[in-house]
Amino acid sequence: MAAPTETAPVGDFDDTDRASLLDTCREGHARAGRDGRPVLVSWAKPLPAVDPMAVWRRARPLTRRSLLWRSAWDQGCVVALDTAHELPGRGAARVQSVRFAWARLSRDLVHGGTADPAQPSGDGPLAIGGFAFSPDGTGPEGRLPDTLVWVPAFQLRSRAADAGDRPGPAELRLNAVLTRDDDPEQTAKELGRIAELYLAAEDEPGVPSTPTARRTWHSTEKPAAEDWRDLVRRATGRIRAGDFEKVVLAREVQVTASAAFDIPAAADRLLAANPGTTVFAVGHDEYTFLGATPEYLVRVEGRDVHALGLAGTTPRGGTPEEDAARERELVGSAKIQHEHDVVVQMLRDALADGCVEVTAETPPRVVKLAHVQHLSTKVRGRLGADSGTGILDFVEGLHPTPALGGQPRREALSWLTENEGFDRGWYAGVVGWADPSGQGQFAVAIRSALLAGASASLYAGCGLVADSDPAVEYAETCAKLRPMLSALEIE
Q: Which residues contact 183 (CB under 8 A, 6 or more apart)?
A: none
d(Cα 132, Cα 148) in Å, to the nearest integer?
A: 9
Catalytic residue among 45, 171, 246, 480: 246
Collapsing DSSP to helix, strand or coil, 104 comes out as: helix
Mark whether 295 is an active-site residue.
Answer: yes
d(Cα 307, Cα 284) in Å, to the nearest integer?
A: 28
Q: Which residues contact 473 (CB under 8 A, 6 or more apart)?
A: 229, 232, 249, 462, 464
Catalytic residue among 45, 171, 252, 295: 295
Vertex 45 angle, CA 178 and 279, to 5°: 90
* Greatest extent of the chain over all pairs of C-alpha atoms, in Å: 71
d(Cα 351, Cα 450) in Å, to the nearest integer?
A: 31
**Cβ atoms within 10 Å of 430's Cβ, excluding its own:** 24
**Count of all residues that appear for the chain in the document:** 491
For residues 185 and 167, the answer to whether their CB atoms sit within 8 Å is no
Strands 39-47 and 110-113: parallel
d(Cα 372, Cα 357) in Å, to the nearest integer?
A: 32
d(Cα 59, Cα 55) in Å, to the nearest integer?
A: 6
Collapsing DSSP to helix, strand or coil, 306 comes out as: strand
d(Cα 321, Cα 76) in Å, to the nearest integer?
A: 35
Mark whether 246 is an active-site residue.
Answer: yes
Asked whether the CA dihedral 330, 428, 432, 162 is positive or negative, the reply is negative
Asked whether the CA dihedral 250, 276, 46, 50 is positive or negative, the reply is positive
Residues recognised as catalytic: 246, 295
